[in-house]
Amino acid sequence: MKRQTFVSALGASVFLLSLWCCAGADRSAARAGAPARDSAGITIVDYGESSPKPSEWHLEQVGALRADTGDSVPLYRIRGLVTFPSGRTAVANGGSSEILWFDRNDRLIRASGREGEGPGEFRDLVGIHRLYPDSLLAYDAQLMRYQVFDSAGRFVREFHLGRPGEAPSNPEVLATTDQGGLIVRSLRSYDNAPQGVSRLGFDIRLYDRDGHYVAPVTSAAGWEVYKPASVNRVMFEPMAIPWGHNTELAATPRAVILADNYTGEIKKLGLKGVLERIFRPPPTNRAHVTNHEKEAAKQKLLANAPPPAAAMFRAAYADMPLPSQKSLIEDICATEDGGLWLIETSTMDSAPRRAVVLDPDLRIAGTLSLPNQLGIRVITHDYILGIWTDELGVEQVRRFRIVR
């Protein structure tokens, strides 16, 4: 789940650092790294101080998607990747308002869509998902419209999310279910957010394949945000705090996963909202935020502020309190087999990050180092697909083999 300077824009301006903290229950089981079951029937996987060191994996680049036909457009503003059992890959290319389709050899074979508001067209293509079993779901944030394409890239239908008396705020599809339904996260209104620091809440709900509301799954506190008292403007929005306390989200076709980025604790819920499993990591110390890092973070936020409001934002950032310690988890990514990768935050902007790999039972399977330029989008048993962004901001989709 990505965040921008403005919470309602859902971007990512939070810079974070390193994993492993927390406490546990049933320490005899924890020391062996074994799961314990409490009286409520929830499996707790609790790793104590004496837990064994996990095996080290690594990534080996084996390819890159090639848009090398004569009339192709470059990959830029990539907003999502989806793979299919046939070996095809779809890329949401926001820069051209197209969905680009690649064969199993990573060669471009066709493009779907264009800029516009008609069937199969986009004003703001921000994400795609596989719609089981073999269709593609695309979301247009400006039109708040979902469109379905078949496995050959042909437009099939469109719909909007609905709920009697309530429209979801800033909806984001986390995953689709085995029956083709949607697992959707929406933000609660920030209009009445108090001045100062608070947590912006979110709701997770189920919708059917036509966008009809089905049932709630869960609600939780989301991002730690700041609303300055010094800015007298009704439309001023709370801003995500760098290194703030957040709940990172992921989902599989059968579960929702919530991670506390401060403690490293992971909760896995079924689609009926029932807590099934808890992961508690080995303890560690959180890194401190230096004064230099605090100033650099605020300057980075200011650089992304709209020019007409730069003075207002400068005043807001000057007042924004920053944590003295960094969070532990930067992001979480669900795997196709129901496992999870915990992405630790790096100690420096240029430093590699570490991923802790959990199997579907939330047991540690291994760790590996991730290049800082790589944003992971698809994780299968054997390889990952991600967006590689170089120092000039040029994007490329690269494929890496997982070597255990």
pLDDT of residue 313: 78
DSSP code per residue over 185-244: EEEPP-TTPPSEEEEEEEEEEEE-TTSBEEEEEEEEEEEEEEE-SS---TTPPPEEPTT-
Q: Indicate the residue type of 216.
A: P
- Sequential pLDDT tens for the chain (404 residues): 445 333 333 333 322 223 333 333 343 333 345 555 565 789 999 887 767 788 999 999 999 998 765 555 678 899 999 999 889 999 999 999 999 999 999 999 999 999 999 999 999 999 999 998 889 999 999 999 999 999 899 999 999 997 655 667 888 999 999 999 999 999 887 667 788 899 989 999 999 999 999 999 999 999 898 888 766 554 456 788 988 999 999 999 999 999 999 999 999 999 999 999 999 998 887 888 888 888 888 888 888 777 777 777 788 888 888 999 889 999 999 999 999 999 998 766 667 889 999 999 999 999 999 998 999 999 999 999 999 998 888 999 999 999 99
pLDDT of residue 358: 96
Full set of structural domains in the chain with CATH: 7-403 (2.120.10.30)
**CA 378 → CA 82, 206, 236, 324, 374, distances in Å?**
7, 22, 35, 33, 12
Best CA proximity match to 344, nearest among 56, 3, 17: 17
pLDDT of residue 6: 34
| Residue 239 to residue 237: CA distance in whole angstroms | 6
Best CA proximity match to 331, nearest among 322, 320, 340: 340
pLDDT of residue 10: 31
Q: How many helices (H) and strands (E) does the chain have?
A: 3, 27
pLDDT of residue 18: 33
**pTM for the structure as a whole:** 0.86
3-class DSSP assignment, residue 168: coil
Q: Is the dihedral of CA 292, 296, 299, 301 positive or negative?
A: negative
3-class DSSP assignment, residue 293: helix
| Residue 106 to residue 88: CA distance in whole angstroms | 8
